[in-house]
Structure 1
């Protein structure tokens, strides 16, 4: 990994088991990235805008990549994605939808809103580990990501 040490990953997913499996898949791939987790779209926006529990900019840095579930309580992933891509300070952050949905409507809508990639969650842990490896190779070794703005 070349850039990955400095890139924080923010995972927005309301399912505790999915969050645990994602963490384990990252560890299995020996990724050095700092991981942050939020459980719904409201928490996601609070994290990104440094509000409430996430006011500490040092403790909760802007992520270099967001993994976003679509079906979450309070504010779903679609609503949060729309807000992120409309915000001049956040729209540069790559967002990868990672969801159980395979609905063509969700795929089209999220790409219309500016998502970077749409991935259906793998069903086995081995497939999840492989998907995370591919994701890391692409986002951290191949792609040039923008540097975080001063916020």
Structure 2
């Protein structure tokens, strides 16, 4: 599995890398530092044209507030591309604003997750996300894990 993580905060990237490392899973984590780079990676343009070095992800994790293009703009762009209709997209943010959650729901994010305050919980959260992505899902259903605010009740 390949995960593309779009995040501009170096501390958040450090802790995400650490969480993936602690899991010891065979998951490649590719990190880009802004939304424009995430789109370029998905589109296979510029420095991301080499699909051996930059394969299409099995999961896209987006921070909301990033330079060049926000995570919500990346979500909107991605869902407008038919080839990415079934790509699981997790909006992973510190934002608890209802407008961000509503936008994510409207643009068919697979999950909306508020970053944990206790970073020791991050490996468990990442494990739950990856397990949910690996589980078969009918259509464009939200990923089923407890921290997903888009899960059906």
TM-score by shorter chain over 0.5:
yes
**Structure 1 residue ranges, 4+ long, deviating more than 6 angstroms after superposition:** none
Shift of 1:145: 9.3
Shift of 1:144: 5.2
Q: Assess, with a 3 A threshold, how the Cα gap between structure 1 residues 50 and 63 changes in structure 2: closer, same or farther.
A: same
Shift of 1:59: 1.1
Residue 103 (str. 1) matches residue 103 (str. 2): no
Shift of 1:12: 0.5
Stretches of structure 1 lacking an aligned partner (at least 5 in a row): 1-6, 147-151
Q: Which residue of 2 aligns with 1:27?
A: 21
Count of residues in Structure 1 that have an aligned counterpart in Structure 2? 139
Structure 2: distance between partners of 1:143 and 1:68: 22
Summarize the alignment of residues 1-151 of structure 1 with structure 2, pairs less than 5 Å apart.
Answer: 7-140=1-134, 142-143=135-136
Offset from partner CA, 1:3-26 (integer Å, 9 cap, x none): xxxx10000011111011001001
Shift of 1:54: 0.5
TM-score by length of 2: 0.86
RMSD over equivalenced CA pairs, Å: 1.5
Structure 2: distance between partners of 1:139 and 1:126: 22
TM-score by length of 1: 0.87
Shift of 1:136: 2.1
Q: Assess, with a 3 A threshold, how the Cα gap between structure 1 residues 145 and 126 changes in structure 2: closer, same or farther.
A: farther
Partner SS state of residue 122, structure 2: helix
Q: Assess, with a 3 A threshold, how the Cα gap between structure 1 residues 144 and 130 changes in structure 2: closer, same or farther.
A: same
Q: Which residue of 1 aligns with 2:149?
A: none
Offset from partner CA, 1:88-115 (integer Å, 9 cap, x none): 1222211001000011111011110110
Structure 2: distance between partners of 1:67 and 1:31: 17
Shift of 1:133: 1.9
